[in-house]
């Protein structure tokens, strides 16, 4: 997995240890011990993820220095994902870092698997959220479906009811969660997002409920869990459908009792969070007891919000095209151009299996590669396999491609690759689409079957417009 990671920590030994761990997985990992050198480093290129220590001067533990650096990082035109690091399990400090834009926090000394999982999640969320960060974070669209969605959010947000957001990949489920939080009575608190499918089952309780020093091997300090860090705010449990059943039982207990017991603690702690969950699983799958516990489902889905796919609100496509084309024309300093009338009709009719995320990537491609006075259909790079209107049709397309490919003996292999739909990109796209269809859009299961990480699969979804 290729990514640019920066470790900003005044302790050179800590920074080096993290660099050695992450370098094998991500490639480019830089360290910086002097915060004064940060502006010069950012001028040469903004990292994808920054591991940010919150204290630099010996004896200081209030985190003020790290929070100031966090503000600098978040002010970048294309800000990195930030993971706050601290040797002190200070819940208010962690909450303040999250309020200022950190996506996660870890306590030093860290568990290696936990650190890698945190970076993977940060990369996946940065990729998934590029559209929102590049432009308006609001849900865009004036179609009837979007007006109804916004009205439902406005009705639900001021309540304390738990909300479950359903929808396909790329429709904007996290934007819905953010809109609910922003319009709620908890808007001044933290909205903490947790990718439930990426949490290792072995550290599930520690991550969500926290632990006490000495409660298990490597528990060298107290650690606050996600429920404690989001106190007074909202907890967004993304990819909830990917949780193992055993973990679901533990989450259910916490929600029923409205309290959590950190590992190694003698007494439970009351929790004060609103739960917003999301999944791309089909509703029928959610009611399958072998996939999801019915009692937990009824705790989470007090209110269900279904986000419509883009093909069900085609009248919003011109607005979205204009928005994202303008964003990328500004970003890449390209002249403003209109979409040709014939091309616009084709783009509106296109099914956009990857929804708004796919449209956004197509707009970025058109701005970079388009050469004419107007944008043509070809500029948007819609793969022929993307014309399939359903995941099942995409799977059928894969079989058609596979049937047409002949793999000769090595001695007989041609010097050039086959052309048309038998290119590696076309086959890869169809394979991903078919695998997602096989698992009903479950990203974790699809990534495992394909032999890649979730973050890598997210990037391939964006690349192929799925």
Task: Indicate the helix (H) or strand (E) that contains 165.
Answer: strand 163-166
Which residue has 């909205």 as its token pair? 191
- At residue 457, does pLDDT exceed 90? no
Helix (H, G, I), strand (E, B) or coil at 313: coil
- At residue 328, does pLDDT exceed 70? yes
pLDDT in the model for residue 387: 43
Judge whether 3-131 and 136-308 match in fold: yes
Q: What one-character-per-residue DSSP string does 209-250 give?
A: H-B-TTSSTT--S-B--HHHHTTTSEEEEETGGGS-HHHHHH
State the burial class of residue 36 (Cβ atoms within 10 Å of its Cβ: 0-12, 13-18, 19+).
exposed
Q: Return phi, psi of residue 195, to 5°.
A: -85, 100
- At residue 320, does pLDDT exceed 90? yes
Instruction: Please state the length of the chain.
Output: 466
Task: Say if strands 259-260 and 163-166 run parallel, antiparallel, or are unpaired.
Answer: unpaired
Q: What is the CATH number of domain 136-308?
A: 3.40.50.300
Contacts of 221 (CB under 8 A, 6+ apart): 87, 88, 89, 107, 108, 109, 213
Distance from C-alpha of 466 to C-alpha of 464, rounded to nearest angstrom: 6
- pLDDT mean over 386-414: 40
Q: Which residues of 239-249 are buried (b: 16+ CB within 10 A; e: fewer)?
A: bbbbbeeebbe
pLDDT band at 90 (very low <50, low <70, confident <90, very high): low
Distance from C-alpha of 327 to C-alpha of 413, rounded to nearest angstrom: 45
Q: What percent of the chain has pLDDT over 70?
A: 86
- pLDDT mean over 190-202: 84
pLDDT in the model for residue 223: 80
Q: Identify the weakest region by mean pLDDT among 221-225, 242-246, 250-254, 371-375.
A: 221-225
pLDDT in the model for residue 422: 54
- At residue 449, does pLDDT exceed 90? no
- pLDDT mean over 258-275: 94
- At residue 2, does pLDDT exceed 80? no
Helix (H, G, I), strand (E, B) or coil at 191: strand
- pLDDT mean over 169-187: 92
- At residue 418, does pLDDT exceed 60? no
Distance from C-alpha of 455 to C-alpha of 23, rounded to nearest angstrom: 16
pLDDT in the model for residue 168: 94
Report the CATH fold assignment for 3-131: Rossmann fold (3.40.50)
Task: Indicate the helix (H) or strand (E) that contains 51.
Answer: strand 49-53
CA atoms within 13 A on the CB side of 300: 29
pLDDT in the model for residue 271: 93
CATH class of 311-382: mainly alpha
For helices 424-438 and 454-464, give the axis angle rounded to 10 degrees.
120
Task: Looking at mean pLDDT, say which of 74-83, 333-342, 383-392, 395-404 comes out highest.
Answer: 333-342
**Mean residue pLDDT across the chain:** 83
- At residue 121, does pLDDT exceed 90? no
State the burial class of residue 213 (Cβ atoms within 10 Å of its Cβ: 0-12, 13-18, 19+).
exposed
pLDDT band at 132 (very low <50, low <70, confident <90, very high): very low
Instruction: Give domain limits for the chain.
Output: 3-131, 136-308, 311-382, 387-464
pLDDT in the model for residue 134: 41
pLDDT band at 417 (very low <50, low <70, confident <90, very high): very low
pLDDT in the model for residue 202: 81
- At residue 461, does pLDDT exceed 80? no
Q: What percent of the chain has pLDDT over 90?
A: 44
Q: Identify the weakest region by mean pLDDT among 142-146, 192-196, 392-396.
A: 392-396
Distance from C-alpha of 206 to C-alpha of 1, rounded to nearest angstrom: 27
Task: Looking at mean pLDDT, say which of 82-86, 295-299, 398-402 comes out highest.
Answer: 295-299
Distance from C-alpha of 350 to C-alpha of 389, rounded to nearest angstrom: 9
Contacts of 380 (CB under 8 A, 6+ apart): 343, 347, 362, 363, 365, 366
Contacts of 393 (CB under 8 A, 6+ apart): none
Q: Identify the weakest region by mean pLDDT among 32-41, 114-123, 176-185, 206-215.
A: 114-123
- pLDDT mean over 103-129: 79
DSSP conformation class of 161: -
Query: Could you tell me if 263 and 210 are in contact, meaning their C-beta atoms sit under 8 angstroms apart?
Result: yes
Q: Return phi, psi of residue 14, to 5°.
A: -65, -45
- pLDDT mean over 19-29: 87
pLDDT band at 265 (very low <50, low <70, confident <90, very high): very high
pLDDT in the model for residue 45: 86
Q: Which residues pair with 269 in a beta bridge?
A: 260
| pTM assigned to the model | 0.64
Q: Identify the weakest region by mean pLDDT among 3-17, 162-176, 247-261, 422-436.
A: 422-436
Task: Indicate the helix (H) or strand (E) that contains 464.
Answer: helix 454-464
| Tokens describing residue 322 | 């204009």
Q: Identify the weakest region by mean pLDDT among 162-176, 223-237, 401-415.
A: 401-415
Helices assigned H by DSSP within 413-453: 424-438, 443-450
- At residue 51, does pLDDT exceed 80? yes
- At residue 325, does pLDDT exceed 90? yes
- At residue 31, does pLDDT exceed 70? yes
């Amino acid at each position: 997995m290729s990514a640019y990671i920066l470790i900003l920590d005044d302790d050179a030994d800590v920074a080096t240890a993290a660099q050695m761990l992450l370098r094998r997985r991500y490639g480019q990992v830089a360290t910086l011990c002097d915060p004064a050198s940060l502006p010069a480093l950012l001028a040469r290129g903004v990292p994808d993820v920054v591991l940010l220590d919150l204290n630099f001067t010996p004896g200081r533990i209030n985190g003020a220095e790290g929070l100031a650096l966090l503000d600098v990082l978040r002010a970048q035109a294309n800000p990195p994902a930030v993971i706050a690091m601290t040797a002190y399990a200070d819940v208010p400090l962690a909450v303040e870092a999250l309020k200022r834009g950190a996506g996660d926090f870890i306590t030093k000394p860290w568990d290696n698997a936990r650190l890698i999982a945190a970076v993977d999640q940060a990369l996946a969320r940065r990729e998934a959220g590029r559209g929102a960060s590049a432009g308006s974070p609001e849900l865009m669209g004036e179609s009837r479906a979007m007006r109804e969605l916004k009205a439902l959010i406005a009705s639900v947000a001021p309540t304390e009811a738990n909300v479950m957001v359903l929808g396909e990949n790329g429709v904007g489920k996290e934007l819905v969660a953010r809109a609910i939080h922003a319009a709620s009575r908890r808007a001044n608190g933290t909205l903490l997002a947790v990718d439930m499918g990426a949490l290792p089952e072995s550290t599930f309780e520690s991550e969500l409920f926290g632990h006490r020093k000495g409660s298990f091997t490597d528990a060298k300090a107290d650690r606050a869990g996600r429920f404690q860090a989001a106190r007074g705010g909202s907890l967004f449990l993304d990819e909830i459908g990917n949780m193992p059943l055993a973990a679901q039982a533990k989450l259910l207990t916490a929600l029923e009792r409205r309290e959590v017991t950190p590992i190694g603690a003698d007494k439970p702690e009351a929790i004060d969070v609103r739960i917003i969950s999301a999944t791309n699983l089909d509703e029928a799958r959610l009611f399958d007891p072998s996939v999801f516990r019915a009692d937990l489902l009824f705790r989470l889905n007090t209110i269900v919000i279904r986000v419509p796919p883009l093909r069900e609100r085609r009248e919003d496509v011109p607005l979205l095209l204009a928005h994202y084309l303008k964003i990328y024309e500004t970003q890449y300093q390209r002249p403003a151009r209109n979409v040709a009338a014939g091309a616009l009709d084709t783009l509106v009719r296109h099914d956009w299996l990857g929804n708004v995320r796919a449209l956004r990537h197509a707009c970025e491609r058109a701005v970079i590669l388009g050469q004419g006075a107007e944008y043509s259909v070809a500029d948007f790079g819609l793969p022929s396999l993307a014309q399939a209107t359903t995941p099942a049709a995409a799977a059928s397309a894969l079989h058609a491609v596979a049937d047409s490919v002949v793999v000769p003996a090595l001695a007989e292999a041609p010097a050039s690759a086959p052309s048309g739909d038998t290119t590696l990109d076309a086959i890869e796209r169809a394979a991903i689409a078919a695998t997602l269809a096989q698992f009903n859009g479950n990203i974790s299961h699809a990534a495992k079957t394909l032999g890649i990480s979730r973050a890598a699969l997210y990037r391939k979804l964006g690349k192929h417009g799925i």
